[in-house]
Structure 1
Amino acid sequence: MPRATVLNASTYRRMPWKNGGGETVEIAISPEGAALSEFDWRISMATVATDGPFSSFPGIDRTLSILEGNGISLAIDGGHPLVLTQESDPLAFPADVAVSAVLAAGTIADLNVMTRRDTLRHHVERLDIGGSDSVRVDARTWIVLCHRGTLALQWEDGKAELDPGDSVLLEGAMGMVVALTGHARIYRISIVNV
């Protein structure tokens, strides 16, 4: 039986960084309440206010998307810097390699999706909804984050209304069709077993 959870932005867990360079807002983590060294998957947003290295997460893969601000330049594992902006595709990379970040011009907000590499894989897609659309759930764990605008979702035995920052988490709903209505920028996150 599919399980749906609507996650309201006002209830997300907020964690200031120890170095004072930003704040993380945890949208969801599995297992629920897991420590940062023990999660299977984690979805969060971060406010990044200063240049510097990313935290390392051994055995974890990460995808980063820019939500707000003028962008960031990332040097991943000693490679040439990659510039990410709000219009860039989500960028996937290992979370256990050295990453150095330089802000383009001021603070940014980003979306981080992380999964444990030996058991899970994830995919992040940014979509702009302008009216009505439908999508088929393509993963056992499936999340939609409404970044801008408002979005109504309806599926076979439920529905949700999302404002900016709100999310819906569907588990065990593989193959289900979800109707989307509204004018919104959303991020669709699919998490599957390896």
Structure 2
Amino acid sequence: MRILRAADHKRMPWKNGGGETVEIAVSPDDAGLAGFDWRVSMATVATDGPFSIFPGIDRTLAILDGNGMVLDIEGSAPVLLTTASDPLAFPADIPVAASLQDGAITDLNVMTRRDGLAHRLIRIDIDGGTSVPLTSPTCLLLCHRGALSFRHGEETGALSAGDALLMTDAAGTAVEIDGEARCYLVSIATP
């Protein structure tokens, strides 16, 4: 288990050079944009334009802040994503164009290498105490807004906005959470 503090997240340019991403976690550690098995990041999108192409990668996107954007994914009808929308999964190796609705947005982006991993991203609103079952070997809990305390096994700690908790060998366990927060849970496993 590792706590990943917001102040320590790595900032880097987008693959296509069109903006900046904040890398929360990546595997293997310090993998580049071409060599990761999985990656969790946030980005501020300030202009309309194409998404970076990542061959062999599956992606899920959630809108964290802002008024939303329309994704035009090749072969599909355009989709409006907002902070109220469920996260949207799509291949990262097909053309995707984004059109902002009314100003910049911040998104959460989860990517896994298709030939060996699969992932799931869900939003969890915490108001008090709750137990969150973990069904995958690798899980990451991002505290987007608010603050929370947690217990995972015998380990305890606290997360503030932007902090994340990375748990390995997590399948079949649960994380106990208390506080008021909007969180996102990433689950990564072999398919």
With structure 2 as the length reference, what TM-score do the two structures score? 0.97
Contact 1:78 1:98 in 2 (8 A): no
Count of matched residue pairs: 191
Structure 1: runs of 5 or more not aligned? none
Relative distance call for 1:94 and 1:19 in structure 2 (3 A) is closer
Paired letter, 2:149: A
Residue 157 (str. 1) matches residue 154 (str. 2): yes
Return the match for 1:5 from 2, 5, 16: 2
Residue 121 (str. 1) matches residue 118 (str. 2): yes
Distance across 2 between alignment mates of 1:178 and 1:193: 21
Relative distance call for 1:28 and 1:167 in structure 2 (3 A) is same
Residue 52 (str. 1) matches residue 49 (str. 2): yes
Distance across 1 between alignment mates of 2:57 and 2:164: 23
Q: Could you tell me how far 1:175 is from its partner in structure 2?
A: 1.0
Partner of 2:132: 135
Distance across 2 between alignment mates of 1:156 and 1:35: 32
What's the secondary structure of 1:50's corresponding residue?
coil
Paired letter, 1:13: K
Distance across 2 between alignment mates of 1:140 and 1:125: 16
Residue 38 (str. 1) matches residue 35 (str. 2): yes
Contact 1:21 1:49 in 2 (8 A): no
Q: Could you tell me how far 1:173 is from its partner in structure 2?
A: 2.0
Paired letter, 2:34: S
Percent identical: 56
Distance across 2 between alignment mates of 1:85 and 1:22: 20
Contact 2:11 2:22 in 1 (8 A): yes
What is the root-mean-square deviation in Å for CA atoms of aligned residues? 1.2
Residue 167 (str. 1) matches residue 164 (str. 2): yes
Return the match for 1:96 from 72, 93, 97: 93
Partner of 2:182: 185
Q: Could you tell me how far 1:16 is from its partner in structure 2?
A: 3.3
Q: Could you tell me how far 1:17 is from its partner in structure 2?
A: 3.8
Contact 2:14 2:52 in 1 (8 A): no
Residue 65 (str. 1) matches residue 99 (str. 2): no
Partner of 1:111: 108
Contact 2:142 2:162 in 1 (8 A): yes
Q: Could you tell me how far 1:18 is from its partner in structure 2?
A: 7.2
Structure 2: runs of 5 or more not aligned? none
Return the match for 1:26 from 1, 20, 23: 23
Distance across 2 between alignment mates of 1:18 and 1:116: 16
Q: Could you tell me how far 1:23 is from its partner in structure 2?
A: 1.4
Q: Could you tell me how far 1:156 is from its partner in structure 2?
A: 1.7
Residue 146 (str. 1) matches residue 143 (str. 2): yes
Paired letter, 1:75: D
Q: Could you tell me how far 1:78 is from its partner in structure 2?
A: 4.1
Paired letter, 1:87: A
Contact 1:143 1:167 in 2 (8 A): yes
